[in-house]
Amino acid sequence: MSMAALAHEGITVSKLHPHVGAEIIGVDLRHPLDEMSFEIIREAWNQHTVLVLRDQRIDDEQQVEFASRFGTLEETTFTVAADNPYIYKLSNVDDEGNVLPVGSKKRLFLDVNARWHTDSSFRPIPALGSILSARKVPAKEHGDTAFASMRVGWETLPDERKRALEGLVAVHDYSYSVGLFGDKLIPKSEMDSVPPVRHPLVRTHPPTGLGSLFVSGHIERIDGMPVEEGRALVAELIEWCTRPEYVYRHRWRQHDLVMWDNRCALHRATAIPATEPRLMHRATIAGEGPVA
Ligand SMILES: [Fe+2]
Domains of the chain: 3-285 (3.60.130.10)
Q: Which long-range contacts (CB under 8 A, 24 or more apart) does 88-93 make?
A: 88/281, 88/282, 88/283, 88/284, 89/279, 89/280, 89/281, 89/282, 90/132, 90/279, 90/280, 90/281, 90/282, 91/277, 91/278, 91/279, 91/280, 92/272, 92/273, 92/277, 92/278, 93/277, 93/278, 93/279
pLDDT of residue 4: 43
271 dihedral zone (left: phi>0; alpha: psi -120 to 50; beta): beta
Task: Kindly give the distance from the C-alpha atom of residue 130 to the centroid of ligand 1, in angstroms, as a whole number.
Answer: 8
Element (H, E) at 140: none
pTM over 0.75: yes
**How far is residue 237's CA from residue 93's CA, in Å, rounded to a whole number?**
34
Known catalytic residue at 119 = yes
Reduced to 3 states (helix: H, G, I; strand: E, B; else coil), residue 146 is strand
pLDDT of residue 78: 58
> 117, 123, 135, 263: which one is catalytic?
117
Answer yes or no: are the C-beta atoms of 116 and 104 closer than 8 Å.
no
Task: Kindly give the distance from the C-alpha atom of residue 227 to the centroid of ligand 1, in angstroms, as a whole number.
Answer: 24
Instruction: Tell how strand 22-25 and strand 50-53 pair up.
Output: parallel
Task: Kindly give the distance from the C-alpha atom of residue 160 to the centroid of ligand 1, in angstroms, as a whole number.
Answer: 31
**How far is residue 32's CA from residue 28's CA, in Å, rounded to a whole number?**
8
Whole-angstrom distance between the N-terminal and C-terminal Cα of the chain? Answer: 26
Answer yes or no: are the C-beta atoms of 288 and 182 closer than 8 Å.
no
- Among residues 218, 204, 272, 270, the alpha carbon closest in space to that of 242 is found at 270
What stretches in the chain show pLDDT beneath 50? 1-7
pLDDT of residue 9: 66
**What letter represents residue 140's amino acid?**
K
Task: Kindly give the distance from the C-alpha atom of residue 110 to the centroid of ligand 1, in angstroms, as a whole number.
Answer: 10
Known catalytic residue at 282 = yes
Known catalytic residue at 48 = no
Known catalytic residue at 94 = no
pLDDT digits (tens, 9 = 90+) for 191-232: 888 899 999 999 999 999 999 999 999 999 999 999 999 999
pLDDT digits (tens, 9 = 90+) for 17-55: 999 999 999 999 999 999 999 999 999 999 999 999 999
Task: Kindly give the distance from the C-alpha atom of residue 119 to the centroid of ligand 1, in angstroms, as a whole number.
Answer: 5
